[in-house]
Amino acid sequence: MAKIPSRRKIIIDTDPGQDDSVAILLALASPDELDIRSVTTVAGNVPLWRTTENALKILELGGGTHIPVYAGSARPLTREPVTAEHVHGETGINGVNLPAPVRQPEALNAVDFLVETFRASEPGDLTLCVLGPITNIASAIQKAPDIVAKIREIIWMGGAYFEVGNITPAAEFNVYVDPEAADIVLKSGVKLTFIPLDVTHRALCTHQHLKRFAALGNKSGTAVSEMLQFSERFDLAKYLWLGAPLHDPCVIAYLLKPDLFSGRQINVSIELKGEFTTGMTVADWWGVSKRPANATFLRDIDAAGFYDLLIERIGRLP
Task: Quickly count: other Cβ atoms within 10 Å of residue 227's Cβ.
Answer: 27
Separation of alpha carbons 255 and 5, rounded Å: 12
Q: Which residues pair with 155 in a beta bridge?
A: 129, 193
* CA 74 and chain centroid, separation: 17
Q: Pick one of ligand BDR, Ca ion, none as the site partner of residue 84 (Cβ within 5 to 8 A by kind).
A: ligand BDR
CA-CA distance, 278 to 147, in Å (whole number)? 28
The backbone region for 214, taken as left when phi is positive above 0, alpha when psi lies in -120 to 50, beta otherwise, is alpha
Binding to ligand BDR in span 262-281, by CB under 6 A:
none
Residue from 19, 60, 178, 235 touching ligand BDR (CB under 6 A): that is 19
Note whether 45 binds ligand BDR by CB under 6 A.
yes
State in angstroms the smallest separation of the CB of 275 from Ca ion.
Answer: 27
Q: Which of 117, 166, 188, 220 binds ligand BDR (CB under 6 A)?
A: 166
Residue nearer to ligand BDR on the CB measure, 48 or 115: 48
Closest CB to ligand BDR: residue number: 173
Q: What letter would DSSP give residue 103? A: S
**Would residue 247 show up in a list of annotated catalytic residues for this protein?**
yes
Q: What is the chain's length? A: 318
166 makes contact, choosing from Ca ion, ligand BDR, none, with CB < 5 to 8 Å by partner type, with ligand BDR
Positive or negative: CA dihedral 267, 268, 272, 273: positive
Q: Which of 41, 73, 174, 225 binds ligand BDR (CB under 6 A)?
A: 174
Q: Is 124 helix (H, G, I), strand (E, B) or coil?
A: coil
Of 15 and 284, CB closest to ligand BDR: 15
* Interface of this chain with Ca ion, residues 125 to 154, rule: CB under 5 A: 131-132
Query: What span, in angstroms and rounded, lies between the C-alpha atoms of 124 and 152?
Result: 4
* Given 88, 201, 209, 247, the catalytic residue: 247
Query: How far, in Å, CA of 19 to CA of 200, rounded?
Result: 11
- CA atoms within 13 A of residue 21's CA, in its CB half-sphere: 34
Q: Does 173 bind ligand BDR (CB under 6 A)?
A: yes
- Decide if residue 131 touches ligand BDR (CB under 6 A): yes
15 burial level (CB within 10 Å; 0-12, 13-18, 19+): buried
Q: Which is nearer to ligand BDR, 174 or 267 (CB)?
A: 174
Stretch that binds ligand BDR, among 62-70, 171-179, 212-220, 252-260 (CB under 6 A): 171-179
* Among ligand BDR, Ca ion, none, partner that 284 touches (CB below 5 to 8 angstroms by kind): none
Binding residues for ligand BDR, per CB under 6 A?
A: 17, 19-20, 45, 84, 87, 131-132, 157, 166, 172-174, 247-248
Binding residues for Ca ion, per CB under 5 A?
A: 15, 17, 20, 131-132, 248
